[in-house]
Amino acid sequence: MNENKQQQRKRRRKGNTIDDSVTMDEKQVKVKGLNEILTTLVLLEDQEKNDLEELEKENQEEMLKFEENHSKRKREMMDYYSKLEGFHKDGERAEGTRRRKAKANAFAATEAAAMAIGAATAEDSVSDDKNAGGTSDKAPAAAGPQRRLWVKNRSKDWWDQCNSPDFPEEEFKKAFRMGKDTFDLICNELSSVVAKENTMLRDAVPVRQRVAVCIWRLATGEPLRLVSKKFGLGISTCHKLVLEVCSAIRNVLMQKYLRWPDEESLKRIKDEFESISGIPNVVGSMYTTHIPIIAPKNSVAAYFNRRHTERNQKTSYSITVQGVVDPRGVFTDVCIGYPGSMPDDQVLEKSTLFQRANAGFYNGVWIVGGSGHPLMDWVLVPYTHQHLTWTQHAFNEKIGEIQRAAKESFARLKTRWGCLQKRTEVKLQDLPVVLGACCVLHNICEMRNEDLDASMKFELVDDEMVPEVGLRSPNAAKARDTIAHNLLHHNHAGTSFLT
């Protein structure tokens, strides 16, 4: 029994020993594994550190190479620019030398020609003196300053013929829409403003030729290249002359020939209009026309003329000219330049005429307008509603006789100045100056009774739209009814509307 216990104890001790050995082996294996893992991690960390150092080194090398290349390219570019600048300087010096040589050669040739002409003149003078049996004690006159600018030779034969005293009056009037006396008057009025001095480079264009270029261009509406051929001047010179003379006409002649009448003239105008229509206190006849233009670059929709486009089946653009005339067709007020899309009543509201009326300038008088204008305390217009009475028909007939003065005046304006009949080359910003000059010249011709060829008559067509608010003053409506009643009551109303 004891032996069995001893054997069991031995077996237990032996088992424990085995377990301890196994445990120790496992611990050793685990420690070894951990050591290997730590070693691996250290190696990986060292390798990563080496990789980072190599990458940083490569980046530094690349940066050094980039900076070196950049510096190299910069030096090359600077060298290239230096060479290019030197090349341009050499070219400029060569060009300057060439120009100086050319000017010197031209000047020498001019001097040689002048000396040759002087010598020939001196020889002719000596020869004449010898032939006359005399001797000359005078030395030849020194040649004056020579011009050094080359100018293209252009023929001025046509203008020289027109400027000749022998040129027929009818032909002159056909070309310039006015007689020689009226043309001379305009030249004398503008002489102090448009005259230029001769220079060393060229002779100035004479005043008569300057004015003629402008008037012929306005009268015919021909393109500048034809104006250039007619007057022997450059195209740009002709364009400049037209604008300069038109500006001078506006600044010098407008205040003299296009202005609101004084009291004495207003009385005469009232009497003449009353003798025509029987309507008292009428001081002007008002009308608004359209001038065709090329489609502008800016605000093209504002200048689009829908009514002309629909009628002519062709896209049309225009600006407006509102004018008030006296019984002779002379303009007493003009408003120029508002876009063609604006109806007549809006043009009137933006005009200086309207501003003066609001200030009470036209109290007690009438300006007769068309159906496109509103009825106001100072604007008298025809009846526009349907189913008019006999009295209203008669009134409209008399109003039409007054407004005919304005329509016929605008028709003569466009007949006389052909540039208003078609789209012009003049820029939009310069057009009001040109149109103002046309109105002033029209007044001068009308005042001097310059007639027009009947075959040249221009047919005036303008569409009038009834304004949205046609009645602006109840008092004006009552006054119009009273005028219509008095016309019929005093037998001033006609009956032609019945036929």
Domain ranges of the chain: 157-256, 261-498
Cα dihedral 37, 40, 45, 50 in deg (nearest 10): 180
How many whole angstroms separate alpha carbon 207 and alpha carbon 321? 29
Question: Does 145 score more than 60 pLDDT?
Answer: no
Q: Are 388 and 373 in contact (CB under 8 A)?
A: no
Q: What is the largest CA-CA distance in the chain?
A: 194
Average pLDDT over residues 215-225: 94
Average pLDDT over residues 68-80: 73
State residue 498's pLDDT score.
45
Q: Average pLDDT of 186-208? A: 90
Higher pLDDT, 471 or 3: 471
C-alpha separations of 430 from 156, 209, 422, 449 in Å: 28, 22, 16, 29
At 325, give phi and psi (nearest 5°). Answer: -125, 160
Q: Provide the pLDDT for residue 135.
A: 39
Mean pLDDT of 53-61: 82
The pLDDT value given to residue 53: 84
Q: Across residues 87-95, what is the average pLDDT? A: 65
Q: What is the pLDDT of residue 31?
A: 81
Q: What is the pLDDT of residue 371?
A: 92
- For residue 259, is pLDDT > 60? yes
Question: Between 358 and 63, where is the model more confident?
Answer: 358
Helix H or strand E encompassing 336: strand 331-339
Instruction: For residue 128, name the pLDDT band (cuts at 50, 70, 90).
Output: very low
- The per-residue pLDDT for range 455-476, each reduced to its tens digit, is 888 888 877 788 877 788 899 9
Over the chain, what is the mean pLDDT? 83
What pLDDT sits at residue 138? 38
Query: For residue 15, what pLDDT band results from cuts at 50, 70 and 90?
Result: low
Q: Which residues contact 299 (CB under 8 A, 6 or more apart)?
A: 339
Contact 148, 107 (CB under 8 A): yes
Cα angle value 183/189/191 (rounded, 5°): 95
- Residue with the bigger pLDDT between 425 and 207: it is 207
Quote the percentage of the chain above a pLDDT of 90: 54
User: In this model, does residue 477 exceed pLDDT 80?
Assistant: yes
Say what the pLDDT of residue 143 is: 45
Residue, of 248 and 103, whose pLDDT is higher: 248
- 337-394 confidence digits (pLDDT tens): 999 999 999 999 999 999 999 999 999 999 999 999 999 999 999 998 888 899 999 9
pLDDT at 14: 63
DSSP 399-453: HHHHHHHHHHHHHHHHHH-GGGTS--SS-TTTHHHHHHHHHHHHHHHHHTT----
pLDDT of 408 above 80: yes
Q: Enter the tokens of residue 165.
A: 């005293």
Q: Which of 144, 153, 252 lies closest to 200 in space, CA to CA?
A: 144
Predicted local confidence at residue 142, as pLDDT: 44
pLDDT tens-digit readout, 412-469 = 999 999 999 988 878 899 999 999 999 999 999 999 999 998 888 888 887 778 887 7
Residue 66 has pLDDT above 80, yes or no: no
Residue 46's pLDDT is what? 80
Distance CA 364, CA 281 (A): 7
pLDDT of residue 268: 96
Q: Is the pLDDT of residue 117 over 50?
A: no
Instruction: State the average pLDDT over residues 173-195.
Output: 95
Q: What length is written for the chain? A: 499
